[in-house]
Amino acid sequence: MTDLKLLPPGLVVNTMKGDVAEHRAGAWLTWNGSLDLDCAIIGVPYDGASVVRAGSRQGPNAVRQGLMYFTTYSSRDRRAMTALRAADIGDVQVVITDMQGTFSRIADTVRQLVARGIIPIVLGGDHSISFPNLRGVMEALGPDKRLGVIHFDAHHDLRKAHLGAESSGVPFRKTLELPGTLLKGRNLVQIGLGEFANAPEFDDYAHEMGITVISALEVRERGMKAVIQQALDIAGQDADGLYVSVDIDCIDQSQAPGTAAPNPFGLDARDLQLGLRRIAEHPKFVGGDIVEISPPFDPQNITGVTGASLVLSLLYGVSKRLLPKR
């Protein structure tokens, strides 16, 4: 039995399920109600903290719609991840005008899943939801533990407030300053910071807190493989769990135009695909989120399809770690 209080997925993709031999992702992720799972996809259609362009409440369903184009099979590795126990278990109950209540339900859902050994992949929603996600993970890990976080974003999201109000730009500062937090600056790595997208006061705060900051230009110069290895070494040092947060605006706007703050100098989605696989394959990986997909600004759902492929990349990384054991 479980105390999870979830709504059914806002969109159930029933098209292009194909035959059994195709291993269609949409069919594979259909939930049968059991929590005998390795990974759980959860939608959080909340954008009540957006301060630039709203619409990310529609993000979870855009990703679900994007899943119709994919299978579970890796052509490079010649292996499928169908044996991974994964499912889309539905949406957290969201009230756009009630941030506190919504965040409480998000944290409780994540806490219950992680406590059961289930890896949550949370679909936002704006980036404010990373705070309750992280709080839920930390509550599940328990006291005297340490959490490492790898954060992909064009922005620091280290604001204290936005014009005096809480916003989608505060979740990591809020987590770092939470009493009893398991996350320390030395275990937070930010990747993909954009040119002409940030302010010196947030960069100064990051360095004062010991956060590792790797810009999008540095990723281009050094290569994603080397950057991911550095991030895993830093975030994972003495950590009991690793969490990854992906703001879709870290990706170049040609590959992810549907977001609150499109980024013309962003990361290549192909590099991020490989990075997320490597992170999710790490034995300490306990969960992640993909946020800020805003379908109203992307009528062709390019960004939702990109998000769907990134979700599958995370699941595939987990499968490479778990499936050989079975």
Does residue 1 sit within a domain? no
DSSP state of 49: T
Least confident of 50-54, 119-123, 126-130, 306-310: 50-54
Helix (H) or strand (E) holding 103: helix 99-115
Question: Which residues span the domain enclosing 160?
Answer: 6-325
Can you count the helices (H) and strands (E) in the chain?
A: 10, 11
Does residue 184 sit within a domain? yes
Higher pLDDT, 8 or 246: 246
For residues 156-166, average pLDDT: 72
Does residue 98 sit within a domain? yes
Based on the structure, what is the number of domains in the chain?
Answer: 1
Taking only the tens place, the pLDDT of each residue in 261-318 is 999 999 999 999 999 999 999 999 999 999 999 999 998 999 999 999 999 999 999 9
Confidence class for position 37, pLDDT limits 50, 70, 90: very high
Does residue 240 sit within a domain? yes
Q: Which of 20-24, 161-165, 185-189, 193-197 has the highest mean pLDDT?
A: 185-189
Confidence class for position 51, pLDDT limits 50, 70, 90: confident
Confidence class for position 3, pLDDT limits 50, 70, 90: confident
Report DSSP letters for 268-285, one per residue.
Answer: -HHHHHHHHHHHHHSTTE
For residues 229-251, average pLDDT: 98
Does residue 244 sit within a domain? yes
Contact partners, residue 101, CB within 8 Å, separation at least 6: 95
- Gap between the Cα atoms of 72 and 88, Å rounded: 14
3-class secondary structure, 190: strand
Taking only the tens place, the pLDDT of each residue in 176-223 is 999 999 999 999 999 999 999 888 999 999 999 999 999 999 999 999
What are φ and ψ of residue 298, in 5° steps? -150, 75
pLDDT at res. 52: 78
What is the dihedral sign for C-alpha 314, 315, 318, 319? Answer: negative
Q: Is residue 132 within 8 Å of 158, Cβ to Cβ?
A: no
CATH code of the domain in which 28 resides: 3.40.800.10
1 pLDDT exceeds 50? no
Quote the radius of gyration of the chain (alpha carbons, Å).
18
pTM of the model: 0.95
Does residue 119 sit within a domain? yes
Confidence class for position 27, pLDDT limits 50, 70, 90: confident
